[in-house]
Structure 1
Amino acid sequence: MRSVIACLLLCATLLVSVDHGRAASPKSLKKRATNAAKDIYNAGGWKQAFATFYGDETARETMGGACGYGNLYQSGYGLMTAALSSTLFNSGYGCGQCYEITCTLSKHCYFGKSVVVTATNLCPPNWSKPSNNGGWCNPPRVHFDMSKPAFMKIAFWRAGIIPVSYRRVPCARSGGMNFKLSGNRWWLMVFITNVGGSGDIKAVSVKGSRTGWIAMTRNWGVGFQVFKQLQGQSLSFMVTCYSTGKTTVHNNVAPANWQLGSTYSAKQL
Structure 2
Amino acid sequence: MALQLFHLFSPLVLVLLVTTTVVAVVATTDQWDTAFATFYGDMSGKETMQGACGYGNLFDEGYGLQTTALSTALYNDGEACGACFEIQCFNDTRWCAPGSVTVTATNFCPPNLTKPSADGGLCNPPRKHFDLSMPMFVKITKDFHAGIVPVQFRRVTCWKKGGIKFEIKGNPFWMQVLVYNVAGAGDVKAVSVKGSGTGWTPMSRNWGQNWLTSTGKLQGQSLSFSVTTSDGRTVQSPDVAPANWQFGQTFEGKQF
Aligned mates of 1:268, 1:85 — CA distance in 2:
28
Structure 1 residue ranges, 4+ long, deviating more than 4 angstroms after superposition: none
SS of the residue corresponding to residue 188 of structure 2 reads coil
- Structure 2 residue 226 is the aligned partner of structure 1 residue 255: no
Counterpart residue identity of residue 68, structure 1: G
**1:175-209 CA distances to partner (integer Å, 9 max, x unpaired)?**
11100010011111100111001000111110000
Alignment match of 2:221 (pick from 222, 230, 233): 233
Higher helix fraction (1 or 2)? 1
Residue 62 of structure 1: aligned partner:
48
One of 138, 162, 169 as aligned partner of 2:156: 169
Shift of 1:105: 2.1
Name the SS for the 2:75 alignment partner: helix
Structure 2: runs of 5+ lacking an equivalent: 1-26
1:144 aligns with 2:130: yes
- What does 1:85-234 align with in structure 2 at a 5 Å threshold? 85-106=71-92, 107-111=94-98, 113-155=99-141, 156-229=143-216, 230-234=218-222
* Cα distance in 2, alignment partners of residues 88 and 176 from structure 1: 26
Aligned partner of residue 158 in structure 1, secondary structure:
helix
Aligned length: 227
In 1: Cα distance, 2:184 partner to 2:126 partner: 27
Q: Work out whether residues 236 and 254 of structure 2, in 8 Å CA contact, stay in contact via their aligned partners in 1.
A: no
Alpha-carbon distance between aligned partners in 1 of 2:44 and 2:219, rounded to the nearest angstrom: 39
Q: Which has the higher contact order (CA 8 A, sep 6+)?
A: 2
> Matched residues in 2 for 1:103 and 1:124: separation?
22
Partner of 2:21: none
Alpha carbons 2:235, 2:254 under 8 Å: kept: no
Q: Does structure 2 retain, via aligned residues, the 8 Å contact 1:93–1:202?
A: yes
**Alpha-carbon distance in structure 2 between the residues aligned to 1:227 and 1:124:** 30
SS at match of 2:76: helix
In the alignment, the residues of structure 1 paired with residue 156 and residue 215 of structure 2 have an alpha-carbon distance, to the nearest angstrom, of: 37
CA distance in 2, matches of 1:62, 1:188: 27
Given that 1:46 and 1:167 are in contact with CA atoms closer than 8 Å, whether structure 2 keeps it comes out as yes
Is there any run of 5+ residues in structure 1 with no aligned partner, and where? 1-36
Q: Which residue of 2 aligns with 1:76?
A: 62
CA distance in 1, matches of 2:117, 2:90: 20
- CA RMSD between the two structures: 1.2
What per-residue deviation string (whole Å, max 9, x for no partner) do you get for residues 118-150 of structure 1?
000010111111111211100001000000011
The answer as to whether partners of 1:76 and 1:193 remain within 8 angstroms in 2 is no
**Residue-by-residue CA offset, 1:44-102 (whole Å, 9 max, x unaligned):** x2111100000111111111111001111122111110000011101111000000001
CA contact (8 A) 2:160 2:183 kept: yes
Q: Which amino acid aligns with 1:233?
A: Q
